[in-house]
Structure 1
């Protein structure tokens, strides 16, 4: 009997991402059309009304008429180009994997310009919309603004990395950029799935649950993709660790203390607060276990570079609850938000921002390694060579005569 062939997890993940992107592209492109032209098709709302309920959709989008029409052109640019990015992303990934260099470079230029144009439309919309008038309130507005900044910065760092000949860092930053973009289709999936898991939720409540973990989830996916494409066991110039066990232990203790305070804050808020807390804690615990097990496995296999990258991201993940709690307090006092809204926003942006910081530290690690190797080469070439010792004088030639000649 022949055993069934095992399907690689990477291939399944790639097919799933491509399918989500291709399915979401027309939804994104037509999302804002009904606000510009009466009766225009909105594929996403049509599907949502038939998978959940028409009442669920009408209640959610009835309040969007005013804010969307106030910034209609920027939103049209953002949504149409956002759909185009959903198509360009798989093209970029597949051309990089298959080493179609010229096509990858050409589509990469289009991708970068599209990111900037689409995010410019989103920035104009956010600038013209008060946080209280945003979809699902100020916490959602703050999360959208953070994702926008992260998307633009990661795309910019990816461009700088390829211009300075760091292809591995270029790959990491662009995958992180696309991870931020993937929050849009994943949010739509939660619009459909969560009302079936927790009946009676409004779309506003679904949004609040989703922002508690979407940033963390997409950044973890970008990291898994980066590590799957990078099979190097070592990186030139990278020795030791910037995150030794004492640093990791301190980060874990700090994160545990912050989590205890976050749980204590959410528990008195009833069923709604408990749902928000679970939406944050469960993905955080899953991500922690993935990073912890991966860095241990890399250490056992002797893959020093993989272990270092996993560990740097693990430290950042452990510190994210402390960062989120601090951000919540800052937002509460600076923007005069109520504590529940401030904590929802702080926890929503913490995972994504710390993953961005971890990617920046990984980039510095690689750049420092190259600089270290360069200095070592310069030191080797500048080191004076020992003076050559004089060659020994040749020995005098010996004349050999035949015995008969000597007797004569």
Structure 2
């Protein structure tokens, strides 16, 4: 844990994550009780009512009775197991940092099984709920489905990396998986915090603003955690880049065009569109600035491993607005959405999808580097004609 002691921000981030997870666990586990038994206590609703107003909570949750009632058992399974994941995550994190291998393996198996079971409950809910009946409408349904897919794929790739004994990839995929799971407690925090900045809005509108940036925040947090836990510097097998200068320039140009298209689309929707644009653009610019700074710092240090990881994720971040712009029209027609909903949906998933792609590309980069190093260190194979030459020499 020495590397955490050397950087106060790492300790603060680790402690904050553990506190949020442990605090949210009972909230998640009791969230569906009032729908199963009217009048049953729900910690999250009570706290949110105190932070904002009881009417703010009651107005939003009254619309959930019918949709949740059709999928109550899967939702209860999802929420209870989701609370368990909030407890298992810190166990995994701390056991990895303190190098408690046995505890880490046991907690990891329990974590993976729980993810699959919890996400199965969420999948049943989504399949039984029309997109327009989701809380916040079709855009939230699409974001939830994308997070579900990203969570399942991340834990699967993380497990495969552990089996293949590739700890650097295992760590990244599992942190990305937990980042996706952290959207749940962070969303509840935004339900309570955003009304201070945007007073008078109903919770459904607050929800729409939150999903504009939650995906980018959690994948960026997973990247920061990965870099914070990785103490490797230069790597001969990671010299060069899979995102050369021309590719990075083209990604910036495509991203700028996508940002112009997104900005124009949101500004045409009045006050609601301006709120969603702010919810997306401010965190996006901050994330971009941090990535640029970290990439340049790694370049100055000659840290080829960190430089390549920051470069791949920076390229992915630049491409996120372009992806959102490219997907909006096909999604609009495929799901019979209005233009505004399609735009909000693709903006909500853009950064998460491109960050997942960057982690996939980084994984291929690492596998290629390992294979290159293995071939370089392998002894040369004997020439197939050598035995015959030797036999001929003996015969003479």
Structure 2 equivalent of residue 204 of structure 1? 204
Structure 2 equivalent of residue 394 of structure 1? none
TM-score by length of 2: 0.94
Contact kept in structure 2, 1:291 and 1:310, CA below 8 Å: yes
Structure 2 equivalent of residue 404 of structure 1? none
Q: CA deviation at 1:384?
A: 5.6
- For residues 208-248 of structure 1, what are the alpha-carbon distances to aligned partners after superposition, in whole Å with 9 as ceiling and x for unaligned? 00110100000000000000111111345222111122111
Describe the shift of the 1:240–1:56 C-alpha distance in structure 2 as closer, same or farther (beyond 3 A). same
- For residues 326-369 of structure 1, what are the alpha-carbon distances to aligned partners after superposition, in whole Å with 9 as ceiling and x for unaligned? 12111111111001100000000000010000000000000001
Work out which of the two has the higher radius of gyration on C-alpha atoms and give 1 or 2: 1
CA separation in 2, counterparts of 1:382 and 1:299?
38
Structure 1 equivalent of residue 354 of structure 2? 354
Structure 1, unmatched stretches of 5+, are: 388-408
TM-score by length of 1: 0.91
Moved over 6 A (4+): none
Contact kept in structure 1, 2:238 and 2:304, CA below 8 Å: no
CA separation in 2, counterparts of 1:206 and 1:98?
39
Structure 2 residue 91 is matched with structure 1 residue 116:
no
Contact kept in structure 2, 1:51 and 1:192, CA below 8 Å: yes
- Counting matched residue pairs gives 381
CA separation in 2, counterparts of 1:81 and 1:234?
41
Q: CA deviation at 1:381?
A: 1.8
Residue 241 of structure 1 aligns to a residue whose secondary structure is coil
Q: CA deviation at 1:376?
A: 2.4
Structure 2, unmatched stretches of 5+, are: 387-396
Matches within 5 A, 1:2-401: 8-235=8-235, 237-378=237-378, 380-382=379-381
Contact kept in structure 1, 2:234 and 2:302, CA below 8 Å: no
CA separation in 2, counterparts of 1:209 and 1:173?
27
- For residues 99-126 of structure 1, what are the alpha-carbon distances to aligned partners after superposition, in whole Å with 9 as ceiling and x for unaligned? 0000000111100000000000000000
CA separation in 1, counterparts of 2:244 and 2:189?
39
CA separation in 2, counterparts of 1:129 and 1:269?
27
CA separation in 2, counterparts of 1:188 and 1:198?
15
Q: CA deviation at 1:7?
A: 6.9
Q: CA deviation at 1:6?
A: 9.2
CA separation in 2, counterparts of 1:213 and 1:230?
26
Residue 269 of structure 2 aligns to a residue whose secondary structure is helix
Structure 1 equivalent of residue 389 of structure 2? none
